[in-house]
Structure 1
Amino acid sequence: MEMKKAVLRAINLHKVYRMGKGVRVHALRGASIEVYEGDFVAIIGPSGSGKTTLLNILGLLDVPDSGEVFIDGIPVVGLDDDELSEIRLRKIGFVFQHYNLIPILTALENVELPMILAGVPPKKRVERARELLRMVGIPEMEEHKPNEMSGGQQQRVAIARALANEPSIVLADEPTGNLDTKSSEEIVNLMLRLNRERNITFVVVTHDMDVAKKADRVLRIRDGKLYEVKEL
Structure 2
Amino acid sequence: MKRVVLQAVDVYKSYRMGTGVVVPALRGANLEVREGEFVAIIGPSGSGKTTLLNVLGLLDTPDSGELYVDGIPVVGLDDDELSEMRLRKIGFVFQYYNLIPILTALENVELPLILAGVPLERRTRRAMELLRMVGIPNMQNHKPTEMSGGQQQRVAIARALANEPSIVLADEPTGNLDTKASEEIVSLMKGLNREKGTTFVVVTHDLEVAREADRILRIRDGKLYEVDEL
TM-score (structure 1 length as normaliser): 0.98
Match of 1:43 in 2: 41
Match of 2:84 in 1: 86
Instruction: Provide the C-alpha distance between the structure 2 equivalents of 1:62 and 1:109, rounded to a whole number of angstroms.
Output: 27
Instruction: Provide the C-alpha distance between the structure 2 equivalents of 1:20 and 1:52, rounded to a whole number of angstroms.
Output: 20
Match of 2:166 in 1: 168
1:223 is matched with which residue: 215, 221, 226?
Answer: 221
Match of 1:102 in 2: 100
> How many residue pairs align between the two structures?
230
Instruction: Provide the C-alpha distance between the structure 2 equivalents of 1:80 and 1:164, rounded to a whole number of angstroms.
Output: 24
Match of 1:123 in 2: 121
Shift of residue 197, structure 1, vs aligned partner: 0.3
1:90-125 CA-partner distances (Å, limit 9, x unpaired): 000000000000000000000000000000010000
Runs of 4+ in 1 over 3 A off after TM superposition: none
Match of 2:146 in 1: 148
Shift of residue 86, structure 1, vs aligned partner: 0.2
Instruction: Provide the C-alpha distance between the structure 1 equivalents of 2:108 and 2:212, rounded to a whole number of angstroms.
Output: 29
Match of 2:70 in 1: 72
Match of 1:196 in 2: 194
Residues 1:112 and 2:96 aligned together: no
Match of 1:32 in 2: 30
Instruction: Provide the C-alpha distance between the structure 1 equivalents of 2:213 and 2:179, rounded to a whole number of angstroms.
Output: 18
1:200-227 CA-partner distances (Å, limit 9, x unpaired): 0000000110110010000000000000
Percent identical residues: 80
2:19 is matched with which residue: 13, 18, 21?
Answer: 21
Shift of residue 180, structure 1, vs aligned partner: 0.2
Which amino acid is the alignment partner of residue 43 of structure 1?
I
Which amino acid is the alignment partner of residue 58 of structure 1?
L
Gaps of 5+ in 1: none
SS at match of 1:110: helix
Shift of residue 138, structure 1, vs aligned partner: 0.2
TM-score (structure 2 length as normaliser): 0.99
Which amino acid is the alignment partner of residue 163 of structure 1?
L
Shift of residue 23, structure 1, vs aligned partner: 1.2
SS at match of 1:49: coil
Shift of residue 21, structure 1, vs aligned partner: 3.2
1:137 is matched with which residue: 135, 138, 148?
Answer: 135
Instruction: Provide the C-alpha distance between the structure 2 equivalents of 1:185 and 1:154, rounded to a whole number of angstroms.
Output: 15
SS at match of 1:214: coil
Instruction: Provide the C-alpha distance between the structure 2 equivalents of 1:185 and 1:29, rounded to a whole number of angstroms.
Output: 33
Instruction: Provide the C-alpha distance between the structure 2 equivalents of 1:51 and 1:83, rounded to a whole number of angstroms.
Output: 25
